[in-house]
């Protein structure tokens, strides 16, 4: 189990030397490109110390909170009148995160250049600078690889992480490109406030205090055919139509093909009746409660008889069900450590932000969420 966030192995040696070293310029071919540069777009969201920050960058962060707002709406915890307020709060937090990261990146780029120069200075005199820098980059890439693995563990696996990236509109390549910048953000924070150290007891305490973060939720994979009664002359006609459809499936016609021929249940009928939320099909209980109640009495792969569900008649196919699984501490220790680290880094970013803001020029251009999110 890892109990502390440590700087790069070679940084542990070089950082003390930076204060006393008068480093020579890095030689030609150093490859000293900066971590993930801020990209601008046609629409500017922020101006930070003269740098234009595109709307896409803020939206990518905002997308992390958007599913939570949507889930609160679906569960009834948030009514439509409160939606705009919740979205504005999420947008404000996304703006602040981008500002914090941009200020840290300015320091991180300077630090990376310093370290690279010191690394060249401490190499054997007969070693070409380009070879020294290649060695630096290999060590740096190894630390980025470790960070990638930690983030996968914290997300609950590659599938969960990559699904979250898709929701944010980020490619895996864009996400991986940003990991190096994040690595140096953390080193800047560590230099400013010292290392982050967690004892095994503290990690176990976090695991015990947050049981919801260390379990795999149950998951339904369902298809449905839904016939709204209002589309028929009488409720009895709707049920009669469902009986005919059910017989066609029982006689061997694929459920998906039948669903696609109907137009009563957009957008699910176009996908063969597959029930999904934000493109995800393995969903925890509560997303489609009526269908889940019908499916609980079925075996995987079975199709229900037509069921009167109030405003509509349903036919449900249970493709698969996975029960909830509680993860033992031994399975979750690394994830608990990383989640604690993420919480601590967030707090330290806030402290860094409050200190640095007095010397920074920040102008918010896009103060509210884009209109498409408010509909």
- Report the 3 state secondary structure along 138-188: HHHHHHHHHHHHHHHHHHCCHHHHHHHHHHHCCCHHHHHHHHHHHHHHHHH
The 10s digit of each residue's pLDDT in 4-60 is: 333 444 454 444 433 333 333 333 334 444 333 344 345 899 999 989 999 988 998
Residue 254, domain extent: 218-323
Residues 57 and 164 in one domain: yes
> Residue 368's pLDDT is what?
93
Q: Do 9 and 125 fall into the same domain?
A: yes
Report pLDDT digits (tens) over 221-270.
Answer: 999 999 999 999 999 999 999 999 999 999 999 999 999 999 889 999 99
Neighbours of 102 (CB within 10 A): 19
The answer for residues whose C-beta is within 8 angstroms of residue 358's C-beta and 6 or more apart is none
Task: Give the lowest-confidence range in 44-48, 301-305, 313-317.
Answer: 44-48
Pairing outcome for strands 196-197 and 4-5: antiparallel
- Residue 39: what pLDDT? 42
d(CA 221, CA 278): 14
Q: Are residues 262 and 148 in the same domain?
A: no
Q: Which of the pair, 11 or 129, is modelled with greater confidence?
A: 129
Do 204 and 70 sit in the same domain of this protein? yes
Q: Are residues 182 and 72 in the same domain?
A: yes
Report d(CA 35, CA 148) in Å as an integer.
16
- Beta-strand runs (E) in the chain: 4-5, 44-48, 51-54, 196-197, 215-216, 219-228, 307-308, 312-322, 325-326, 362-364
Number of domains making up the chain: 2
Residues 6+ apart with CB under 8 A from 259: 223, 224, 225, 265, 268, 269, 272, 273
**Pairwise CA distance, residues 190 & 348, whole Å:** 9
- CATH code of the domain in which 289 resides: 3.10.50.40
- Give all strands (DSSP E) within 185-296, no chain letters: 196-197, 215-216, 219-228
Angstrom CA distances, 276 to 6, 105, 317, 321, stand at: 41, 38, 14, 14
| Mean predicted confidence (pLDDT) in 121-127 | 82
Instruction: Please give the angle made by the CA atoms of 34, 111 and 147, to the nearest 5 degrees.
Output: 70
269-296 average pLDDT score:
92
Verify that 157 and 282 share a domain, yes or no.
no
Please indicate, yes or no, whether residues 351 and 270 belong to a single structural domain of this protein: no
Average pLDDT on 62-76 reads: 78
Among residues 160, 154, 156, 148, the alpha carbon closest in space to that of 279 is found at 160
- d(CA 281, CA 188) in angstroms, rounded, equals 40
Share of the chain above pLDDT 70, in %: 88
Q: What is the pLDDT of residue 171?
A: 83
Complete edge-to-edge strand list for the sheet that includes strand 307-308: 219-228, 312-322, 307-308
The Cα diameter of the chain in Å comes to: 90
CATH number at residue 342: 1.10.4030
Q: Which two tokens stand for residue 316?
A: 């449900």
- Residue 42, pLDDT score: 55
Examine the domain organization and report whether 338 and 195 are in the same domain.
Answer: yes
Residue 225: what are its φ and ψ, rounded to 5°? Answer: -115, 125
Q: Are residues 205 and 248 in the same domain?
A: no
Measure Cα distances from 335 to 146, 163, 271 in Å: 13, 18, 35
Co-location of 24 and 162 in the same domain: yes
Residues 98 and 143 in one domain: yes
Digit-coded pLDDT (tens) for 204-227:
999 999 988 888 889 999 999 999
Q: pLDDT for 156-172, tens place per residue?
A: 788 888 877 877 777 88
Please say if the pLDDT value at position 67 is more than 80.
Answer: no
Window from 59-68, 204-213, 360-369 with minimum mean pLDDT = 59-68
- Mean pLDDT of the chain, nearest integer: 83
CA distance 181 to 108: 7
Q: Same structural domain for residues 142 and 265?
A: no
pTM of this structure: 0.59
């Amino acid at each position: 189990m890892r109990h502390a966030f440590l700087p790069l192995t070679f940084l542990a040696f070089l950082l003390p030397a930076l204060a006393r070293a008068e480093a020579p310029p890095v030689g030609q071919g150093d490859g000293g490109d900066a971590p993930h540069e801020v990209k601008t777009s046609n629409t500017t969201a922020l101006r930070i110390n003269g740098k234009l920050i595109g709307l896409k960058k803020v939206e990518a962060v905002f997308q992390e909170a958007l599913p939570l707002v949507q889930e609160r709406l679906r569960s009834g915890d948030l009514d439509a009148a409160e939606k705009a307020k919740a979205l504005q709060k999420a947008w404000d937090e996304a703006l602040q995160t981008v500002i914090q990261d941009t200020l840290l990146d300015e320091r991180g780029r300077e630090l990376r250049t310093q370290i690279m120069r010191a690394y060249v200075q401490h190499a054997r005199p007969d070693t070409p600078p380009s070879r020294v820098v290649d060695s630096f980059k290999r060590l740096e890439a190894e630390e980025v690889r470790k960070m990638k693995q930690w983030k996968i563990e914290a997300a609950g696996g590659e599938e969960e992480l990559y699904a979250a990236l898709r929701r944010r509109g980020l490619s895996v390549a864009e996400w991986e490109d940003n990991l190096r910048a994040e690595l140096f953000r953390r080193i800047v924070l560590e230099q400013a406030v010292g290392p982050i150290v967690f004892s095994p007891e503290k990690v176990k305490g976090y695991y015990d205090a947050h049981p919801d973060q260390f379990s795999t939720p149950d998951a339904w994979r369902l298809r449905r055919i839904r016939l709204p009664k209002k589309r028929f002359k009488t409720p009895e006609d709707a049920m009669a139509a469902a009986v005919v459809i059910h017989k066609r499936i029982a006689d061997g016609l694929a459920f998906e093909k039948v669903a696609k021929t109907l137009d009563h249940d957009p957008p699910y009928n176009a996908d063969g009746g597959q029930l999904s939320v934000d493109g995800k099909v393995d969903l925890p209980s509560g997303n489609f409660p009526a269908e889940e109640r019908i499916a609980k009495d079925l075996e995987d792969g079975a199709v229900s008889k037509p069921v009167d569900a109030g405003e509509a008649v349903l036919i449900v196919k249970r493709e698969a069900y996975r029960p909830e699984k509680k993860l033992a501490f031994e399975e979750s220790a690394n994830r608990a450590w990383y989640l604690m680290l993420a919480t601590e880094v967030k707090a330290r970013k806030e402290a860094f932000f409050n200190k640095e803001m007095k010397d920074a020029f920040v102008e918010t251009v896009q103060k509210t969420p884009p209109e498409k999110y408010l509909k």
